[in-house]
Chains A and B, each alone.
Chain A
Amino acid sequence: MIRRTESLLVETVCRILIPLIQLFALYVIVHGHYSPGGGFQGGCILGASFILMVIAYDIRWMKHRFSEKKNTLMVALGVFIYSLIGFICIFLGAEYLNYGIFHRILPVDVAKARSLGILAVETGVGITVMAVMVSIFLNLTTYGKHEKGEV
């Protein structure tokens, strides 16, 4: 059970830092082509920012801003985006997950089309990893009883 920390210093500093952590996580996901990073790493940092919300405040404060239902939907949304990219490649005429076929609908050449396919796929992976980290953390710390009683 996590109780609210009544410390003004922790609450104020975390209120400033949490948007900056999320911005850095988005940078790590998108800049994965040119620097170390990518979908898994950025998703973990994004999940850690929500866990910091729970540690600095309490669970009701965090669930008022990002509810449990949206979180569970995003677990499935990331896998759905990944499979959807693969099926779009089949509809355009190539094999499953062959991103080079995107040069027929977008005004780029084959190498740049593969680079855009990698970006779309890493976005899906990042969304799934973030939602899974928050979901496992919430289920473990509240014994599964989210709605009733003091959490």
Chain B
Amino acid sequence: MSYEKRFSGRKFDEMREIEAKVGIIKRADGSALFRIGDTIAIAAVYGPRELHPRFLQNPETGILRCNYDMISFSVPERKRPGPSRRQVEISLVTEKALLPVVDLKQFQNSVIDVFIQIIQANSGTRCAGITAASLALAHAGIPMRDMVSSVSVGKVGNKILIDLDKDEEDHEDATDIPMAITNRGKQITLLQLDGNITKKDFIEALKLGMGGCEKIAKVQEKALKDYYRSKNE
């Protein structure tokens, strides 16, 4: 089935407008907002702090704990507050997406908590959450080997494209591939796929995503620089 023009009018390799901001939650040790089009994610980092219950503590290393939550009114049909199976899974893959860049060795017996909330949802929420969380970790001063940026790519009809919105995700012939990559190391740390795609198209989509993540990485960098510049003024 052919998909000639995107519902939104964007080019197939064009992401929605993006915005990043650091230091939005004063009470937290680190925080950030990331918006991509109509999807808005906020993230807060608390820690390193003592891990309870104690039996979860690891004397060798600190632990990273991520929680992804969609607020009830972020979607057209009210989402019941509390963790859904979907949220539990996204929390897990978010943790795995960030873990490779965070240096936890020196935080024995401690935990670094990352809380992500989706304020407004129009697809790509896990990716927006990961991008925001990476910024919040950097803002919290957690030692990091690299940063992580994330975007979804995929195929709608016969077209490979980046940053699917809700209309595209709901398309009957859509393949959705959320991915995250380390900004300098180019290690892929999140990769999920649902749909139907050939190897060739998959590789093409992934490369498109890598290009998109480079743009997101620049916006992340600018948000951090802007924050510290305004602090020094």
- Are A and B subunits of one complex? no
